[in-house]
A and B are shown apart, each in its own frame.
Chain A
Amino acid sequence: MRILVIAKLTFREAARRKIALTAFILGLGFLLLYNLAFYFVRTQPYGLPSAALAHNEVINLLLMAGLYAANFMAGVMAVLVSADSLAGEIGSGAIHTVVTKPIRRSEVVLGKWLGFAGLMALYVLLLGGGLVISVALQAGYTPTNLAAGAGLIYLETVLVMSVTLAFSSRLSTLATGAAVFGMYGIAFLGGWVEQIGALLQNQTAVDIGVSASLLMPSEALWRRAAFEMTSPLLRSLGTFNPFGSGVSVPSPLMVYYAILFALAALALAMRVFARRDL
């Protein structure tokens, strides 16, 4: 299977160019910092509220804060590892010996996509899994619908990576980075516009925010993930959590839209790369 040959090559590149090791060490640093902070917040002089519900609410907020940062890091990492992939090999000419072999260009893209999807799964597992386990060990708390939440965070990184590959099939590495971060930023801002709009009950602002999510559904996936991982009881308390799902929660439809968006980006990457001159 030539697709798997390319996927393996992508893994090996991450290992050989010390991308995987660097990400792993800094990921451990991230977890260490989080654990320290969590410990000191948990054992502060006044302590956490003792009532179970209020206690869980604070813990959930702390976990969501950590996952929010991890989710952001995974998104950035998805851009960084994949932006140079096609663009860099096209630029250097290293792609020439690969695509002149009996392999379709779409298979090259698919192989890379699979490789990056594997790498990002490990990264999300390290950061997200590390955070959830830390909180479970320190405070005995596990969020609801963990699988759904983790799946949505992972979907976000795959989405960002697919969009990056699409740009990378046409643009240079730097232009790809600029384009994807631009879209990521629009989605981020759009998420906040939607939240503030919902708080102020301003429908126009909400619509603008949702439109931004249609342009790039990454932020919406995070808010859906936070929604899933916060129990209905906690949500019913109505405390505003800046790292959580917010007031206006993306519907399941938005999740399907994001899946289609990622697949469309992958299809676009395959098509553009297959048709361009190298």
Chain B
Amino acid sequence: MFAIETENLRKEFGARVAVKGLTLQVEQGEVFGFLGPNGAGKTTFIKMMLGLVRPTSGQGRMLGAPVGSVATRGKAGFLPEHFRFHDWLTASEFLTLHGQLYGLPETELKRRRAELLERVGLEPFRDQQLRTFSKGMLQRIGLAQALLNHPSLVFLDEPTSGLDPVGRRLVRDVIHELRREGATVFLNSHLLSEVEITCDRVAFIKQGEVLRTSSLQALVEGETSVTLRAGGLTTELITGLGRFGNDVRADGDHVTLTVVDETALPAIARYLVAGGVELYALTPQRTSLEDLFIQVVGTDGGL
């Protein structure tokens, strides 16, 4: 059973297509990063999983049950974007409310509430109303709320955007703890450094479509950007480089391309020399996730 499994999931809002036939599988116990520019459909996808938004077509299952199933939501946790809550409640009352909505028994609720207030560092503020909280504190209480039920699947929608480093660190630590406990984490983000540190696998999404899914290991280690400097390059030769990798770009004597792994390097050298080229430099460079993001998603930001 997958934690999340969708097939051709699609959502239209009037004439606008927010999610365009999305097919995705997320294993149980993995930390999955959903990467894409703003407006790519990341939030809509999470909303469909949790039954906030009804898919226009396609199918989706969460923890084995069709999306929107009431009982299955009891096994999930959700930290929404923007952290907007009932701000006239105190931190403690807020957790009590959500614990009751999860249907936790009284004693379990009390224990969990105390544990989580402590965990997110809000114990001293337990009796303060949320309206007095800073954005960072709201994020912390929101995170606590999402963990009340010991969830087996947690959705975090842009959990760190606009937060200070301490808040980001907390989110990262909590994600690591969840992974240790065997929970699945689904992380929406455009903060690549966060994803690079926390995720096992990522999907790149743009305009409601998954462009690529890959393990982070393979992405960061496998993808290599190659820069070469050579004299006597012809257009045909440059085009021919396409068979060794992709994203070939030429600028005078300099050419860059991306290859799947380093074994392509000797082949490129042989190809160029055979083509009568004076090869001065052939330099591999590890691709950062950010480069990869730009490559996959493009520089237009999905607009």
Residues of A within 8 A of B (CB): 2, 5, 9, 12-13, 16-17, 89, 92-94, 96-104, 275, 277-278
Chain A min CB distance to B57 (Å): 15
Determine if A277 and B86 form an interchain contact, defined as CB atoms under 8 angstroms apart.
no
For residue A99, give the distance in angstroms from its CB to the closest CB of chain B.
Answer: 7
A99 CA / B76 CA spacing, docked (Å): 12
Interface SS majority for chain B: mixed
Residues of A within 8 A of B47 (CB): 277-278
Stretch at the interface among B27-35, B99-107, B244-252: B99-107
**CA–CA, A62 and B138, complex, Å:** 53
Given A13-B86, A94-B86, A97-B142: A277 and B52 interface contact (C-beta under 8 Å): yes
In the complex, the answer to whether B102 meets A101 with C-beta atoms within 8 Å is yes
With a CB–CB cut-off of 8 A, which chain A residues contact B74?
101-102
A96 to B146, CA, bound (A): 12
- Please state if B86 and A9 are interface contacts (CB–CB under 8 Å): yes
Minimum CB–CB distance for A5 against chain B, Å: 5
9-residue interface stretch from B77-85, B174-182, B188-196, B285-293: B77-85
- Given A5-B97, A16-B88, A278-B47, are A100 and B78 also a contact pair (CB < 8 Å)? yes
Is B15 part of the binding interface, using a Cβ–Cβ cutoff of 8 Å? Answer: no
Tell me which of A2, A96, A103, A104 has the highest count of chain B C-beta atoms within 10 A of its own C-beta: A96
Asked if residues B73 and A102 are in contact (CB atoms below 8 Å), the reply is: yes
Given contacts A9-B97, A102-B70, A277-B54, contact A97 B102 (CB under 8 A): no
Number of A-B contacts (CB under 8 A): 68
In the complex, what residues of B have CB within 8 A of residue A5's CB?
97, 100-101
The distance in angstroms between the C-alpha atoms of A12 and B96, with both chains bound, is 13
* Contact residues, B40-73 vs A (CB, 8 A): 47, 50-54, 70-71, 73
CA distance A230 to B204 in the complex (A): 73
Chain B: minimal CB distance from A84 (Å): 12
B78: chain A residues within 8 A (beta carbon): 96-97, 100
Known: A100-B78, A103-B70. A93 touches B84 (CB 8 A): yes
What is the minimal beta-carbon distance from A116 to any residue of chain B, in angstroms? 16
B228 to A: closest C-beta gap in Å? 51
Q: Which residues of B contact A16 (CB under 8 A)?
A: 88-89, 129
| Residues of the A chain whose Cβ atoms lie less than 8 Å from the Cβ of B80 | 93, 96-97
Given that A13-B88, A94-B86 are known contacts, is A278 also in contact with B53, CB under 8 Å in the complex? yes
Q: How far is the CA of A9 from the CA of B88 in the complex (A)?
A: 11
**Nearest neighbor of A13 in chain B, beta-carbon distance:** B88
Which residues of chain B have C-beta atoms less than 8 A from A89's C-beta?
86
Chain A residues lying within 8 Å of B50, measured Cβ to Cβ, are 100
A100-B51, A277-B54, A278-B53 known; 20 other A-B pairs, CB under 8 Å? A5-B101, A17-B88, A93-B82, A93-B84, A94-B85, A94-B86, A96-B78, A96-B84, A97-B85, A97-B142, A99-B51, A99-B52, A100-B76, A100-B78, A101-B101, A102-B73, A102-B74, A102-B101, A102-B102, A275-B54
A110 CB, min distance to chain B CBs, angstroms: 14
A115 to chain B, nearest CB (A): 13
| Docked complex Cα distance between A17 and B129 (Å) | 11
User: Are A103 and B54 closer than 8 Å at their CB atoms?
Assistant: no
Please report the C-alpha to C-alpha distance between residue A17 and residue B71 in the assembled complex, in whole angstroms: 32
Find chain A residues with CB under 8 A from B88 CB: 13, 16-17
Provide the residues of chain B in CB contact with A96, threshold 8 Å.
52, 78, 80, 84
B145 at the interface (CB under 8 A from A): yes
Nearest CB on A from B226, distance (A): 46
Complex: chain B residue closest to A278, CB-CB: B52
Q: Per a CB cutoff under 8 Å, which of A92, A101, A277, A278 touches B73?
A: A101
In the assembled complex, the Cα of A101 lies from the Cα of B53 at a distance in Å of: 14
B98 beta carbon closer than 8 Å to chain A:
yes
Docked CA distance A103–B71 (Å): 8
For A102, the chain B residues whose CB sits under 8 A away are: 70-71, 73-74, 101-103
Contact A98 B101 (CB under 8 A): yes
A101 cross-chain contacts in B, Cβ below 8 A: 73-74, 98, 101-102
Cβ contact within 8 Å between A2 and B103: yes
Alpha-carbon distance A2/B54, docked complex (angstroms): 23
Q: Which residue of B lies closest to A16 (CB)?
A: B88
| Residue in A closest to B145 when the chains form the complex, CB atoms | A97
Chain B residues contacting A13 (CB-CB under 8 Å) are 86, 88
CA distance A97 to B141 in the complex (A): 12
Give the residue of B53, B70, B87, B89 whose beta carbon is less than 8 angstroms from that of A277: B53
Q: Which residues of the other chain, A, contact B70 by a CB distance below 8 angstroms?
A: 102-104
